Structure formats: C-alpha cells, structure tokens
Amino acid sequence: MIRRALVLSLAAVVVSACNETSTQPPPFDGGSTDTGPAVDRGVVTDNGRVDAGSPTDAGPTDVPPISDDAPTCTAPTPLGELTGTPWCDLPLPAVPGVTVPDGFCIHRYGNVPTARVLAFAPNGDLFVSSPSTGTPGGAPPGSGSIMVVSDDNHDGAGDTPRSFLAGVEDVHGLLFRRNELLYTLQGSVMSAPYCTGDRAVTAPRDRHRRVATLTGSVRWTHTLTESTDGRVMVSMGQYDISQCPAPDARAGSVLQIGAGMPETGSTVVDGFRNPMYLRCKEWGACYAAELSGDGWDSIGGREKLIEIRQGDRYGFPCCVDRGVPVPGLVGAGTCMDVAASVQTYPLHDTPFGFDWAPASWPAPYGNSFFVGLHGWVGSWTNAGVQWAPVDATTHRPTRPTEFFVRGFGHRTAGGNEQRVSDLVFARDGRMFFADDQSGDIYWVAPRTLRMPAR
C-alpha cells in the first residue's frame, strides 16, 4: 500500500501541461488520409455475437490518493547491447507443425488462457489480458484477469504466469504510461498504479482511477494506445447495422480520453464497424485494424489497416470504402468524403494485432510491417502471421502481405486452437504473438539476433 500517489499526481500535471501547450502533429492535425490508392488486399471480420452482460467497472474518476507518502518509482534498467547469446541458440523445444522462413526460429514462451492483448512493461515483463467474458469470435473463457509472464532467468521460456489483477471479466485493452497501467472494461477505461517490477496490483480495484466512461459501448473488446505527444486513445466497436447514416457515430469510433478531455472522451475518427489493436509509432502516426461488414462479400468488402487522423470518417455502414457506396442503401451518397485505407485484406481473414519490425531484423524484413490474422470464424482459415515491406518514408506497406508464420488455423478434435490474436515486438527485437484459442504465446527471432548483454 505504500506506493505512488505523488507519482501519479505529478504524471497528471505533466500530461495536462503537454495537452495545453503542445501543437498537434499528425494524427491530430486534421489532415486527410488520402495519400494515394489503397493496396487492394482484402479484409477481416468476426461473425459471432456475444452478450457481454454488465460491465465490470470499478470506482469513480475522483478516487482519493492511494497513499500520501508514496515513493518515487524506480526507473527501468536500460536494455543492454545486443551482444549476448543468439536467441535461436537457446535449448528450447521446436513448435510442431509451425514454420518460419529460413534464418529464423520460433519458440513457445508461455500460456495464458484466452490471451487477447499483449503489452510489455518498461522492464520487459509481458502483461496479457485474459477475459472470461465470451469473445465475439468464439474464444474460450479466460481467467478474467491481467496476467504477467516474466523471464527472470533469461532462458527464453516464460516463468509461471502470475495474476496482476483479478476479477476483471471483460478486460481487454492494456497500456503502460508513466507510473500507471490503463486497462479497458466494457463501460470504462481504468488506471491501476504501476511501478517498474510490479507483478501484483498494489491497490484494490475500488481505488483505481476511472480515466473515461465509455457510454454507448456495444462491443467490450476495446484497445488502447498513446501517441508520441501523450494523447491516449481508445477504440469503440459495434456489430453489423444497415441504418445509414449510423444512429450513433460514437459506437464505431476512436476516442481521445484522459487529461483535458470530457469524461466520455472526444471523437478523433468515426465511421467504423470495429476498429481494433490501435498502435501509435515513433514516427508520429497511429493506426487501427478495421473489421468490416460481415455480409459485404458480394460487394467488394475488405478488412482494413487505417491511419488515425483527426476528423476523418470511414463511412460504415454506408460505404464499403472510399468512393464505393453500399448498393441500394438510401443515404450512402458517393462516399468520396470517406478516408482511404492504408492497406486492405480479404474479408474474414480478420487482421488483429500488428506492428513494425526493428532495424535489427535482416533484409528484407527489417522495419517491415507484420500482422496477425485471426482467420475465418468457425474454421480459422488463413490464421497466421503475415508481413510486407514498407516505404522507407511513409512506413506504409508497399504490397499485399504474405505469410511469414505458417501452420496456424487448425481446429483439432476436442478443442479449438491456433488462431492468432495480438502481435507486438519486444524491445529486445523479438516478435511476440498470442493464440487466443489455446492460450499459447510465441516468440520469433532472426538467427542473427543476440540477447542483450547482462
């Protein structure tokens, strides 16, 4: 209990000052996403429907300080130079039936039931959301908690998972920022105190601060990100509708929340069906995977990678894409005011987590774009990890993605397994991704990538 109130108060002051004085670069300067035609690759979707029930929210926004004498958190230890043993030389078992390109290895890191969202703490501990509420795509119930998987002996295999926070049935999005961990529930975004190295929450849930109230929430599978200038965003998704325009634009949107914002947030981008796995990158741009209309197979429907820009709209349910109205839908118009996608994917391939590789990966994969495909609901067809090279200036994929990790997308007798959910690169250069069916978490590394010196 002797932790963090002073740190959190100072962090709030810093964030507030930044929001009042900084100018707004992309994605918040109102610029257009139309920087040329989209790469026509396809789409994603999850057909299932689940009643999430009552949100498991906790606590008001103005929660009193946890302690009046909380010490300053310890700064994380800087990562050592990558001069140690090559990751791929570690004596770890192979992953049966799963393949990666020559020059790479893949190993199982650990298991967390219904591993949906991955987030690395500043010290490298892997935090995983494990919701027990049924997911729209049919994942089995998890533990209703935020779990931590560390690797204290640096052998490449995760230690036994620990529960950081329990009793959060509909937990999904995770975001570390300063000395707090933000997490989403169906109706709110909450903040738990966090100091580097914490592996169990240090304050009860009723003392967690409510960062935002997600009024009008339809789906509970929100995700979070923070821009390079400190703006926090959360995704809001909905199910298929045909009323054009949508009766509630907020239901399919990305909201800015936190310091300087209303408690219910402020819309950044709308016109979505289900934007997920928000990512902001060091070059200043922020992105989301948009899961398109399930019934749009016959009218050119595609799943999308989009860039988040203030004031843009993406036209759901009126527009399939820019300049492509839904046939026969009254009120759709020409859809020429709809923002263009960065890249598209075949409908029902369902892109989930995505990230960009570090420069430490060998050509042609260094700095490239990687995406985890959740695959078709019911069959898991096309589940796996794909990649594409990018433009060195814009960081946008220059061609359709192709498979990098193969062997996923199987349904075995007696259970479901092998459907990729989140994907993120660790600060040591390894790519981590999760399977929300089996709960397994994997890492991939080039054979040339070495462990940090210790």
- 433 and 372 Cβ atoms separated by less than 8 Å: yes
Alpha-helical regions (H) of 350-443: none
Lateral strand order in the sheet of 369-373: 351-356, 369-373, 384-388, 402-405
Give the span between the Cα atoms of 289 and 274, in whole angstroms. 8
pLDDT recorded at residue 28: 56
pLDDT > 50? residue 429: yes
Q: What's the mean pLDDT in 260-269? A: 97
- Residue-level pLDDT at 63: 41
193 close to 202: Cβ distance less than 8 angstroms: yes
Is the pLDDT at 119 greater than 60, yes or no?
yes
State percent of the chain over pLDDT 70: 83
Question: What's the burial of 245, exposed, middle or buried (CB within 10 Å: 0-12/13-18/19+)?
Answer: middle
Least confident of 1-5, 96-100, 388-392, 435-439: 1-5
Superfamily (CATH) of domain 5-64+80-446: TolB, C-terminal domain (2.120.10.30)
- The model carries a pTM of 0.86
Q: For 295-328, what is each residue's pLDDT tens digit?
A: 999 999 999 999 999 999 999 999 999 999 999 9
Question: Which burial class, exposed, middle or buried, applies to 282 when counting CB atoms under 10 A from its CB (0-12, 13-18, 19+)?
Answer: exposed
Residue 378 is predicted with a pLDDT of: 80
Q: CA 285 to CA 415: how far, in whole Å? A: 39
Q: By the 8 A CB rule, do 92 and 107 touch?
A: yes
Q: Which residues contact 259 (CB under 8 A, 6 or more apart)?
A: 12, 15, 16, 18, 19
Per DSSP (E only), the strands in 14-93 are none
pLDDT at 326: 96
Min mean pLDDT across 10-19, 81-90, 182-191 is at 10-19
Q: What is the pLDDT of residue 289?
A: 98
323 vs 58, higher pLDDT: 323
Question: Chain-wide mean pLDDT for the chain?
Answer: 86
pLDDT of 358 > 80? The answer is: yes
CA 345 to chain centre: 18
